[in-house]
Amino acid sequence: MLKSSGIVIYRIRSNILEYLILHYFPAGHWDLPKGNIESGETKRQAALRELKEETGLTAAIHDNFQEDISYAGQYNGADFFKTVYFFVGEVDPSSKVTLSSEHQAFVWLPYEQALEKLTYDNAKAILQKAHRFILLLIN
């Protein structure tokens, strides 16, 4: 079984809560920052490393939020089963995104638009749970 970690990244800019969504290249889907857990890493460490590698951002991960999704698929003709563990992190609103070669674009969007932009239903479900968690934190 493959294991990855991801992170729902948000910022509050001009009193607007926005989420970071990445456009993956060459696959073309819109998704949350995520990637494989490397040997010796915790799930949380992997999420922060992937965020840094994919976007150049550093974030403060909030305690009390960890959700996961599992799915099966095929890659290069081989079947796989994967679990992705997600965390929630906040970045400074003035932070600049520097995309890795894995991505061709990024957007910061308010919740409803971010939900529409995400390609996969399991990512949408993670964003919905994260959004409820964040609203409790900031209100």
**pLDDT score of 121 more than 90:** yes
Cβ neighbours, 10 Å, residue 37: 21
- Return phi, psi of residue 136, to 5°: -65, -35
Residues listed for the chain: 139
Sign of CA dihedral 29, 32, 33, 37: negative
Beta pairing partners, 67? 86
Domains in the chain, CATH or no CATH each: 2-138 (3.90.79.10)
CA distance 138 to 12: 10
**pLDDT score of 98 more than 90:** yes
Q: The whole model's pTM is what?
A: 0.94
Burial class (CB within 10 angstroms; exposed 0-12, middle 13-18, buried 19+) of 82:
middle
CA distance 47 to 42: 9
H helices of 7-110, in order, are 43-55
pLDDT at 75: 85
Mean per-residue pLDDT, 18-46: 96
Mean per-residue pLDDT, 91-115: 97
